[in-house]
Amino acid sequence: MQQSDDSGAPSFNPLVVLELISDTKEEAIAWLLSRIRTPQQAGGAGLLVEQLGPGVSAEHKDNPNLFLVGASWERLLSGAEDVGLFKEYSDGSMRGFTCTNKHNFKDFQGDGDGFLSMAECQYIIKHELETLRAKDETHVPGYSNAKLYPGKSIIRRLLSKGILIQMFPLHHKEELKRLSFSWYKKFKLSLQPLDEIRHYYGEGQALYFGFLEYFTFALVPMALFGVPYYMFDWEDYDKYVAFAVFNVVWCTIILELWKRSSATLAYHWGTLSRKKAFEEPRPGFHGVLGYNPVTDREEPLYPNAKRQLRIYLVSLPFVLLCLYLSLYVMMIYFQMEGWALSVHDQDPSFWTGVLLYIPSIIYAVVIEVMNLVYRYAAEFLTEWENHRLESSYQNHLVLKVLVFNFFNCFASLFYIAFVMQDMVLLSQSLATLLITSQILNQFMEAFLPYWLQRRRNKKMIRKVQKKRTPGDKELPLAEQVRLEADMSTYLGTFDDYLELFLLFGYVSLFSCVYPLAAVLVVLNNVTEVYSDAFKMCHVFKRPFADPAANIGVWQLAFETMSVIAVVTNCALIGMSPQVKAYFPESETQLILWTVAIEHGLLAFKFILTFLIPDVPKHIQIKLARLEFESLEALKKKKMLEGTEFRKSVQ
């Protein structure tokens, strides 16, 4: 094994770190490294890999089995072709990169600097490591229980057996400093540097921040609309008809427009027309070995019927039970609320006035706790359902969590609005829920992890400074890697989107009775940008890039919410005193009209969804052009083959 020098710096530019458990058997390590180093043609990954040196602050308890992975420049280019990267062509369009005509791509210089971003290189290395497959090994050397079969991804088996603890990409100190400066350290209002975020973190992250920014801007008109309401009509809950109408139109349009701007972003980032590679089974998937009917490769199979049984006989009842529990807690909250009100009515004082808010605050905290606990249960259940693909696992998890969170957060509001029909209480509850959950979220999400991370960070710096000249504040590589290895893992954009989803719900469903909601959400989003950016840069391990073309299942979730918003807003309009005044005699007439208008609005919404194209015209033309060119090229190729064919016939 090549020995690295004392500072731990390898002979190549390290991109990705593999951490094996500290007591991994030598033979397994030797085998893994040789498989990674073997050239691709011989069935290896063709990458560069070295063990991380102990560093200056080495301690006995440090895990020695940290490996740095990199690749030669040509290997990265051929990897870019393997993963199907889209890059800007010399004519300004986005095309799939191929090594054979690499010189026709816009930013390609011979030395290759700057053509592939570091995030792309790391993504390529991750892909190459994950598609490193067993050949004729029956198990990992030294671990007879870590079974392998031809075609099984080695890294996934090592992960599922716990031999490989983690694989993560390294930060780039300089780039990170530049990014965090333009992102959140400039003290002036500016758009987020989406292209730079994408450059450093990949498309999935950048789309999240793009959506956050878009959502915030989309809320501004509603906030502006809301402020005068709040200022001049504080106690006048009757005037919310105009606001409800505004809500219905607003939430329909912004989602359609987001689809278009997300398509524009994804096109320029090259993910819109990129083909999805064939999806491998997720690491935790288990079953009886058999032949995959699609690939004809040997892999574990798990009968779909069994999974369906687990979903419908266990998961579904469990979710329903949780929903019932949530309803039960809600009823307790209303009893507390009633008790506080009766105390306040009997002997009103400042303290009983404060007491009025206590049940709401307690309820908001309980909701957050329940959401958190449920989240673990949902993860456990979805894992147990044993989905073959990561995407199917994610969809089932998102569905479970969404339904419960929606119910948990909004059930009480629905109850107040439509069963109790108490608009004052609705506005109070909405305000309390919104503010409490925001405060809790920001705390749990950013400040707590930051504080933990800072402690670790300081400890490491102190440790290093003991051995080095003081004043040298930059950490050496070995320490930097170990520090990053200890950082918490960023678990993807799930929680961030979930938070936005709930905020969108508060704003679109009931904000007409509490016009300040939009203002609060805008303020929250502004701080959210900063705290999310900060946590990405300094609290969590760098995540691998995720070449997303859109916000996926969340688009559907937000659209469902906007349909529900049409229903609630129409109902609120129908219940308002002004509208009731138009139908003084017959409540039936009022309800029928409300329902008719609601159906009309829903139909209009669906027609609008059809009429507004999901992809802007100029992007459509570019995509059609690319397809046309590939069809023409195919035709030309066939024509040539046809000539040969005819010749061979004659």
Question: Which residues contribute to the site for a copy of itself (CB under 8 A)?
Answer: 40-41, 74, 78, 81-82, 98-100, 277-278, 293-295, 304, 567, 587-588, 591-592, 595, 599, 617, 621, 624-625, 627-628, 631, 635, 638-639, 641-643, 645-646, 649
Cα within 13 Å of Cα(408), Cβ side: 28
Q: What is the Cα–Cα distance from 441 to 421, expressed in whole angstroms? A: 29
Nearest to 583, CA basis, from 595, 593, 596: 593
Nearest to 479, CA basis, from 492, 461, 458, 495: 461
Taking phi over 0 as left and psi of -120 to 50 as alpha, with beta for the rest, 208 belongs to alpha
Work out how close the CB of 383 gets to a copy of itself at its nearest, in angstroms, rounded to a whole number: 22
- Structure tokens of 248? 């219905």
Output 352 or 620, the one with its CB closest to a copy of itself: 620
Q: Give the CA-trace dihedral at 32, 38, 43, 45, to 10 degrees.
A: 70
Q: What is the Cα–Cα distance from 319 to 309, expressed in whole angstroms? A: 15
Taking phi over 0 as left and psi of -120 to 50 as alpha, with beta for the rest, 2 belongs to beta
Give, as one character, the DSSP assignment of residue 576: S
Work out how close the CB of 643 gets to a copy of itself at its nearest, in angstroms, rounded to a whole number: 6
Output 114 or 293, the one with its CB closest to a copy of itself: 293
Work out how close the CB of 429 gets to a copy of itself at its nearest, in angstroms, rounded to a whole number: 23
Output 27 or 641, the one with its CB closest to a copy of itself: 641
Output 208 or 407, the one with its CB closest to a copy of itself: 407
Work out how close the CB of 154 gets to a copy of itself at its nearest, in angstroms, rounded to a whole number: 18
Output 526 or 634, the one with its CB closest to a copy of itself: 634
Q: How far is CA 563 from the centre of its chain?
A: 23
- Per-residue burial over 74-106, b = 16 or more CB atoms within 10 Å of its CB, e = otherwise: ebbbbbbeebbbbbbbeeeebbbbbeeebeeee
Q: What is the Cα–Cα distance from 115 to 104, expressed in whole angstroms? A: 12
Q: What is the Cα–Cα distance from 625 to 91, expressed in whole angstroms? A: 12
Work out how close the CB of 617 gets to a copy of itself at its nearest, in angstroms, rounded to a whole number: 8
- Amino acid occupying residue 595: V
Work out how close the CB of 278 gets to a copy of itself at its nearest, in angstroms, rounded to a whole number: 5
Work out how close the CB of 641 gets to a copy of itself at its nearest, in angstroms, rounded to a whole number: 6
Taking phi over 0 as left and psi of -120 to 50 as alpha, with beta for the rest, 386 belongs to left
Phi/psi at 139 (5° precision): -160, 165
Output 55 or 574, the one with its CB closest to a copy of itself: 574
Work out how close the CB of 160 gets to a copy of itself at its nearest, in angstroms, rounded to a whole number: 23
Q: What is the Cα–Cα distance from 213 to 199, expressed in whole angstroms? A: 18
Q: Give the CA-trace dihedral at 319, 324, 327, 328, to 10 degrees.
A: -130
Output 93 or 442, the one with its CB closest to a copy of itself: 93
- Amino acid occupying residue 378: A
Find out whether 57 and 248 touch, Cβ atoms under 8 Å.
no
Output 485 or 553, the one with its CB closest to a copy of itself: 553
Work out how close the CB of 295 gets to a copy of itself at its nearest, in angstroms, rounded to a whole number: 6
Work out how close the CB of 624 gets to a copy of itself at its nearest, in angstroms, rounded to a whole number: 5
Output 232 or 610, the one with its CB closest to a copy of itself: 610
Find out whether 376 and 322 touch, Cβ atoms under 8 Å.
no
Hunting for tokens 């083959």 — which residue is that?
641
Residue 234's alpha-carbon distances to 229, 354, 519, 626, in angstroms, are 7, 20, 15, 57
Work out how close the CB of 397 gets to a copy of itself at its nearest, in angstroms, rounded to a whole number: 16
Give, as one character, the DSSP assignment of residue 145: E
Find out whether 513 and 237 touch, Cβ atoms under 8 Å.
yes
Output 6 or 74, the one with its CB closest to a copy of itself: 74
Output 182 or 295, the one with its CB closest to a copy of itself: 295
Find out whether 36 and 131 touch, Cβ atoms under 8 Å.
no
Work out how close the CB of 345 gets to a copy of itself at its nearest, in angstroms, rounded to a whole number: 31
- Structure tokens of 214? 């878009």
Work out how close the CB of 505 gets to a copy of itself at its nearest, in angstroms, rounded to a whole number: 16
Q: How far is CA 464 from the centre of its chain?
A: 35
Output 132 or 537, the one with its CB closest to a copy of itself: 132
Q: Which helix (H) or strand (E) segment is 563 a member of?
A: helix 553-575
Output 364 or 619, the one with its CB closest to a copy of itself: 619
Q: What is the Cα–Cα distance from 558 to 37, expressed in whole angstroms? A: 46
Task: With both helix axes pointing from N to C terminus, report the angle between 241-268 and 553-575 in degrees, rounded to the nearest 10.
Answer: 170
Output 19 or 280, the one with its CB closest to a copy of itself: 280
Output 189 or 305, the one with its CB closest to a copy of itself: 305
Degrees (nearest 5) of the Cα angle 388, 390, 394? Answer: 115
Work out how close the CB of 192 gets to a copy of itself at its nearest, in angstroms, rounded to a whole number: 31
Work out how close the CB of 74 gets to a copy of itself at its nearest, in angstroms, rounded to a whole number: 6
Output 486 or 632, the one with its CB closest to a copy of itself: 632
Q: Is 108 helix (H, G, I), strand (E, B) or coil?
A: coil
Work out how close the CB of 299 gets to a copy of itself at its nearest, in angstroms, rounded to a whole number: 13
- Amino acid occupying residue 198: R
Give, as one character, the DSSP assignment of residue 66: E
Q: What is the Cα–Cα distance from 20 to 17, expressed in whole angstroms? A: 10
